[in-house]
Amino acid sequence: MCNSHKPLASADVGSGLEPAEGPFSLKDEKSYAAWRAAKLTAYPKTAAELRVTIGDLASPTPRERQALRILCARANMALYDAGPLGSDPVKVRPALRALADSLNMQHVEDHRSSGADGIVEIEVADEGGRAGYIPYSTRPISWHTDGYYNYHGPSRCVQAMVLHCVRDAADGGINGLLDHDIAYIRLRDRDPAFIAALMHPEAMTIPPGEEAHGRPRAANTGPVFFVDPATGALVMRYTARKRNISWRQDETTRRALEALEEILETDPLVLTYKMQPGEGMVCNNVLHSRTGFDNRDAAAGRLLYRVRYYGRVGA
């Protein structure tokens, strides 16, 4: 049941990072209601609605760029189909950066596994720095946003990425996709106190650990939802994983996480899509998951290229 107009107990307000006004303020019900209605009306109901055909990945036309931008405004993501060129690894690498440049995505995240061009190869890796991490195996990846373990404030966290399929798996490797704006709406509709709990600056902590090559990594603490001060957009930091994660010990946080898990399991707006060679996604770091996969022929297994950015698509 929607109880978005339920007043929030005053004790719940002000504990987190919620802004004083605008759609993401728990005190500004009017702005929220208008934003919510517009979002749900415009939200794509099928993956097909998210697709844009791009003639030349390295140089999308103004019309193609506009289509990608509009979809990112509607759903924080767009799927594209760049045809056969899109599966030629040599041509794709520079083309991906050019595509992102054309969408004003410029500040590439520094990632330990990226090449000089900032591109990380997501494939099965049995040795080297990527070995032992789930993304570089055939195992499923539970719901998450990228870079949740590396939050250093809104201007230094992953807010956007390009994910491009060079080769798909023989079986599986299907992505689940949900705009985090929708997750926010579902949670706020259930109980605004869930939002206050998840905007708490200490909602989620990744305990200290070890990076590849034994380099120590400090604990990383931050909110789940926060507003990007540069654009006023909502950003989300989340992982459904149960290990190596420490949630703020609070009953409302616990119930909010339970509700979020259920939403990701059952919401009719969760889309699934298996990217084919030459296809990709441009997004504002939406919630996503991946099913496990089977390469069968290991020599030419599933290969995705990924570039992550600080800042948003088109911002």
Closer residue to Fe ion in complex, CB, 18/146 = 146
- What would the x/- binding string for Fe ion be over residues 223 to 262, using CB under 5 A? ----------------------------------------
Rounded to whole angstroms, the Cα distance separating 54 from 74 reads 19
Q: Compute how many other C-beta atoms are within 10 angstroms of the C-beta atom of residue 187.
A: 22
For residue 297, the 8-state DSSP code is S
Closer residue to Fe ion in complex, CB, 178/196 = 178
Nearest residue to 245 (alpha-carbon basis) of 262, 257, 228: 257
Least gap, CB of 133 to Fe ion (angstroms):
11
From the list 34-42, 139-147, 241-249, 279-287, the region that binds Fe ion by CB under 5 A is 139-147
From the list 35-43, 106-114, 146-154, 191-199, the region that binds Fe ion by CB under 5 A is 146-154
- Let me know how many helices (H) and strands (E) the chain has, helices first: 6, 20
Least gap, CB of 126 to Fe ion (angstroms):
20
Select the residue whose beta carbon is closest to Fe ion and give its number. 146
From the list 26-34, 144-152, 204-212, 255-263, the region that binds Fe ion by CB under 5 A is 144-152
Rounded to whole angstroms, the Cα distance separating 2 from 256 reads 15
Where b means 16+ CB within 10 Å and e means fewer, 138-169 reads: beebebbbbbbbbbeebeebbbbbbbbbbbbb
Least gap, CB of 143 to Fe ion (angstroms):
10
Least gap, CB of 204 to Fe ion (angstroms):
16
Confirm or reject binding of residue 168 to Fe ion (CB under 5 A). no
From the list 138-146, 185-193, 248-256, 296-304, the region that binds Fe ion by CB under 5 A is 138-146
Helix (H) or strand (E) holding 62: helix 62-75
Closer residue to Fe ion in complex, CB, 32/151 = 151
Closer residue to Fe ion in complex, CB, 100/193 = 100
Can you state the percent helix, strand and coil of the chain, rounding each to 5? 30, 25, 45
Query: Which one among 146, 168, 181, 191 touches Fe ion, defined by CB under 5 A?
Result: 146
3 state SS of 76: coil
Q: How many residues bind Fe ion (CB under 5 A)?
A: 1
> What's the per-residue H, E or C state across 5-55?
CCCCCHHHCCCCCCCCCCCCCCCCHHHHHHHHHHHHHHCCCCHHHHEEECC
Least gap, CB of 146 to Fe ion (angstroms):
4
Least gap, CB of 270 to Fe ion (angstroms):
15
From the list 36-44, 97-105, 143-151, 215-223, the region that binds Fe ion by CB under 5 A is 143-151
Helix (H) or strand (E) holding 305: strand 303-310
Residue 274 structure tokens: 């298996």
What are the residues binding Fe ion (CB under 5 A)? 146
